[in-house]
Structure 1
């Protein structure tokens, strides 16, 4: 083999070595590029992750806006409710004021009507008392007038005496009855009244006798026959005086001595103590 021919075969391995080196360099560059790209890949992914989180911020803002809108709506509802309540309160106050004024007006009208009725009742009672007194006076005058066949002495004996000759000093049960009757002077007269602060005539007499343990009938007619009939000239304290006939009396009172009596007269005068000359009774009955 010649020297020249040996040279090419000697160079060929160099060419292969050069190519292998080149290939190795290229391969290393590619691998380096891939490595750099791989290292750069995660760094570029971070902005994408941050961009994905933006909807979360938007969602929170929407929630806040919704809450604010709901609060505003609630305030509006509260204001509307308050306005309705204030209007209702004002309306109720007006109605209450009107009702109060109407009640006051009715009360005043009723008071006036009651006063007028009371005045009429008192006037009627006074007129009735006067008429009864006049009737009793006329009746006594007729009964006491002497007949044409009577003598002067008999006429004189039948005339009523204005000053009873009996004693005016009460003792025992009679004193208690008189004291009870006098204690009621000033009380009101009420038809059917039996005390303790309002009486009718027979209710007062019954209560006075009950204070000493004696039960009398309730009405004047029966009380006028409850004991022994006595003359008006021979009265004793505690005797029952009556007006009208015995058994048909329409009024009774208690003789308290000194020519005076205590009786529940009428709604105008109430319970009074008066002289027998004021309204002379028709008769008397003694229970004690």
Structure 2
């Protein structure tokens, strides 16, 4: 064989620098492939001959995401609860404010009503005093007119009337008459027995009580508490009544001189008046 003949070489072909491909697992849903190559691989380098699978990170990340979602949900629940509590507190505050305003309104209305009642009571009291004053003036005027209408003996008649009242009211009767006269001008209030307000039978009972005579409380019983006497034969201290004996609805005290004192009604109070002003039905004598 010629020495120039080619002799196959037993040396293996020189391999280029190997490439190693690293295939990573799915991380966050993305498949990543990492290639690691030699610094200067020739153009005719051999294909990749090794693949290394990297471990997946999916399980750990899923747990983290789950914990994060749970924490986020707890925060959301806490905020929702806080919002509900704030709304409830605001509603309660509004309700309390409304209730307070209503209570203040009612208190103000009550105060004004009380003021109006007091004013009305004062006005009624003033009107009552004025009525009593007018009544006394009218009675005095009537008495003077009756005295003045007489003939030349009018002065004598007036004098006789006064003296008759004074002279006839003696002893216990005088005390009864004096007590009744002291109450003229007092108020009339149904059921009252003094000391500043009376009803008709209350005044009569009190006048006789202060001399030790115990009379019944009501007019019906007072009208039969003594001896029946004629209206033409009256004496000071006799009890006058209006209505039937035993069913009378009003009583008063005869004071002499054709006059009586009695608690008439709420508009007049206790007055002294002529028998002609309000003629009685009958009379009884207890003294």
Higher RCO (Cα < 8 Å, 6 or more apart): 1
TM-score by length of 2: 0.48
Please state which structure has a larger fraction of its residues in strand: 2
Please state which structure has a larger fraction of its residues in helix: 1
TM-score by length of 1: 0.48
